[in-house]
Amino acid sequence: MREGQTHTKQEKEQVTQAKEQAVNTKEALTELGKINYQKHCAVCHREDGKGMPPAFPGLLGSKISVGPIDNHIEIVLNGKKGTAMQGFAGQLTDREVAAVVTYERNTWENDDKKKYGESAGGVVTPGQVKKVRQ
């Protein structure tokens, strides 16, 4: 009986995962990310990703935007103390954070691996955000 239940649970997880993948394509996330970027981020970082330096840095080719994904998720969730960069953990869902990060990593040629190296670009799943959030 117990084994049967475990199977069912596993199957359910597989279905959930498959559904997650189906709705979280790069296109869908980028589209949702753009909306959220314009709503929450463009006021400082600007639509063209060039920001308003020195107060608000650009995200075009910025260290975190082309660096390891977890650092990127982390700053969007928690912000950076002592700066105007607030955390968005309370305002955005895991999927919205995944979307906005995916958008930033694949816009303004931030996904150019030749220029920025292997860490550039990438698609961020809500599951990844959930892990960093904990």
Shortest Å distance, C-beta 113 to ligand HEC = 17
Is residue 89 a contact point for ligand HEC (CB under 6 A)? no
Q: CA-CA distance, 132 to 47, in Å (whole number)?
A: 26
Show contacts of 73-77: CB within 8 Å, 24+ apart. 73/97, 73/98, 73/101, 73/124, 73/128, 73/129, 73/132, 74/132, 76/100, 76/101, 77/129, 77/132, 77/133
Instruction: Tell me: does residue 69 bind ligand HEC (CB under 6 A).
Output: no
Q: Which stretch binds ligand HEC (CB under 6 A): 1-9, 12-20, 35-43, 116-124?
A: 35-43
Smallest gap from Cβ 3 to ligand HEC, in A, equals 45
Strand partners, 56: 52
* Chain residues that interact with ligand HEC, rule: CB under 6 A: 40-41, 43-45, 56-57, 59, 62-65, 72, 75-76, 80, 83-85, 88, 100, 104
